[in-house]
Chains A and B, each alone.
Chain A
Amino acid sequence: MIDNTQSFQFFNRGPSPAARLVFFAVLSLLLLFVDSRYRYLETTRSTLSVLVAPIQQLATMPSIVWRQASSFFVTQHRLVDENELLQQRHQRDATQLLQFQALQQENNQLRNLLALTQRGKFTAQLAEIVYAERDVFKRRILINKGESDNVQAGQVVMDDIGIVGQITRVYPWLAEVTLITEEDHAVPVQVLRNGLRTIVFGAGDTSRLSLRYMPVSSDIQDDDILVTSGIDGIYPPGIPVARVEKIERDAAYPFARVICLPLAGVNSHHHLLILSGLTQLPERPAELPVAAKINKGGRAKKEKPEVP
């Protein structure tokens, strides 16, 4: 290789393509390793995102223009119909809301009587989806609220029906939401019908969720609604997550295969709510070696009460 460069001295072209390939490939691999293991590069990423942001904003223009154009051509008739429908729904919801307020009062009083801490109140921030799933592999969306709107990683995102996902990365003006259907994304839930606690996992490539480690004999049925249990302190309790679609109980396996469908329109909405202001749970006590053992045993028993 040295001979080669010496013979072509008049045009200095720098190192050969192979040398560059090795250099940049090693650099990429190093970046990949650092990014996937340690996540040190978030500041670099948000700095570079300022460069890319104009192009990204521009890329959303066609869909915005299309939406505005199509909303311009909506007929009067359809608007009147929709308005009527919304009115009806509003009245129905209003009565339920009144009841809900009374129940909330009652619940607070009961909790006071029993000296329990009050349920946390959360406020919601409206955000719009900028892009949906940019990559075949990932179940992620970007929304138009970021660091400048005090959005933080870990906040929960929902639509008007249920949980959509969780914020995993924050840029200056954007935030990345990982959907609950992402592979291995876990949400602690309980069955609305009987309060059975479990964890629902994303199934990855399809828009489905699955319950793992459900004993065959556990009391779960088709069309059961799963709501958040609020045990982790991240998801507020009582928000719908999924509906049980199919249960396969095979005696050959210790666990039943439970397939669920997310309730929220994970792929269909334009506006989402970012929840903030959840109650901080007290710090989990440091585990002593002996105490940990007992604790673990206790929890395992509690979680699988139905095991024969």
Chain B
Amino acid sequence: MPYFAPANQEIQRPVSNTFIVLSVLAALFLNGLPWEGIWLMLRPDFVAVVMLYWCTHKPLRVGVGWSWAVGILADVADASLFGQHALAYTLLAFGGVVLHRRLQMFNLRQQTTHVFGILVLTYAVYALVHWQVNGYVVWAYFLGSLTSTLLWTPLSIMFQAVRQMRTERERT
């Protein structure tokens, strides 16, 4: 499968709701692993990347509302303020839904630049809320947006492969 060709046909492939829910739960699990110190700074926001993937690939099923709900769960899991992740993920989902047609025309490398922009904005919203409430910002926090962007390509390839596998199994 040529990954750097426009992935137009790949995107149209069906996907089950179970797969979407499981992927989000897995992302929450990965975020919840006991990251510490420098690893915590470098930890990609798995939930954000997975939500962005579904918002760009299945914008009619996973949109702003679902991202908000997942954000609330992330707030509870992280013991952050109610609405902090939710606000950030709402913006993330909006970016994904609005740009999904454009991203479908792009190859993975071009997608990554757009994804970086959206993720930086998401991280900035989260940091802004924190700054408003607590009055200081840890700049190393933004390293996470870089690693999250790096996660986009492997995640896309992996999800495409899983979806491919499922469709082939259904066909036989």
Contact = CB atoms under 8 A, between A and B. Distances in A.
A140 B81 CA distance: 13
B44 interface: no
A267 B77 CA distance: 20
Interface in A35-88: 35-36, 41, 44-45, 48-49, 51-52, 55-56, 58-60, 62-63
Interface size class of B (residues with CB under 8 A): 35 or more
30 contacts: A17-B94, A17-B97, A18-B94, A21-B64, A21-B90, A21-B94, A24-B68, A24-B86, A27-B83, A28-B84, A29-B83, A31-B82, A32-B83, A41-B82, A45-B76, A48-B72, A51-B73, A52-B28, A59-B30, A60-B34, A63-B34, A134-B32, A134-B77, A134-B78, A135-B79, A137-B134, A142-B79, A169-B79, A204-B136, A205-B138
B73 A31 contact: no
Contact of A136 (B33, B79, B97, B141): B141
B105 interface: no
Interface in B83-108: 83-84, 86-87, 90-91, 94, 97-98
Contacts, number: 120
Interface string A95-124: 000000000000000000000000000000
Given A32-B82, A35-B81, A59-B34, A17 B134 contact: no
A15 to B, nearest CB: 10
Q: Which 10 A-B pairs have the closest CB atoms?
A: A59-B32, A31-B83, A28-B87, A28-B83, A35-B82, A20-B64, A32-B83, A21-B94, A24-B68, A24-B90
A226 B140 CA distance: 31
Interface magnitude class on chain A:
35 or more
Interface of B: 25, 28-30, 32-34, 36, 40-41, 60, 63-65, 68, 71-73, 76-84, 86-87, 90-91, 94, 97-98, 129-130, 133-134, 136, 138, 140-141, 144
Interface in A265-306: 267
Contacts of B90: 21, 24-25, 28
B87 A25 contact: yes
Contacts of B138: 136-137, 205
B129 A32 contact: yes
Most buried by A among B33, B82, B86: B82
Contacts of A136: 40-41, 138, 140-141, 144
A148 B51 CA distance: 34
A17 B87 contact: no
Contacts of A169: 79
Majority SS at the chain A contact face: helix
Given A51-B73, A62-B33, A32 B28 contact: no
Give the one of B40, B79, B140 with max A CB within 10 A: B79
A307 interface: no
